[in-house]
């Protein structure tokens, strides 16, 4: 899963919506690699959620991020696939 964006403002809003905070930055030859991780990793120690931004020198940001947060201890609604199969069973039962 990746996404290409072109401005730092877009990156900032992604960081907010993905609930991550700055972790580390590495300088590569053609781009800088910035890693963000789950803002609540101290609360949800199982959560390995990361968002990575490759910042190319021409101002292009390429974004990679994990599938989902692991916050199952408190938030059952992060189990989206289970919910989807539940709803499809409901639909087939009513038809």
Yes or no: say if 54 and 37 are a contact pair by the CB < 8 Å rule: no
Which of the stretches 29-37, 58-66, 69-77, 81-89 binds Zn ion when contact is defined by CB under 5 A? 69-77
Yes or no: say if 66 and 55 are a contact pair by the CB < 8 Å rule: no
**Quick one: 47 or 63, whose CB is closer to Zn ion?**
47
Binding mask 13-52 for Zn ion (x = CB under 5 A): -------------------------x--------x-x---
Q: Site residues (CB under 5 A) for Zn ion?
A: 38, 47, 49, 69
């Amino acid at each position: 899963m990746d996404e290409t964006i072109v401005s730092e403002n877009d990156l900032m809003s992604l960081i907010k919506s993905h609930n991550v905070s700055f972790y580390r930055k590495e300088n590569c030859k053609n781009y800088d690699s910035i890693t963000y991780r789950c803002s609540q990793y101290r609360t949800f120690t199982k959560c390995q959620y990361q968002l990575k931004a490759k910042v190319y020198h021409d101002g292009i940001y390429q974004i990679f991020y994990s599938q989902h947060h692991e916050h199952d201890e408190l938030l059952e609604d992060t189990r989206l696939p289970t919910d989807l199969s539940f709803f499809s069973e409901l639909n087939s039962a009513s038809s």
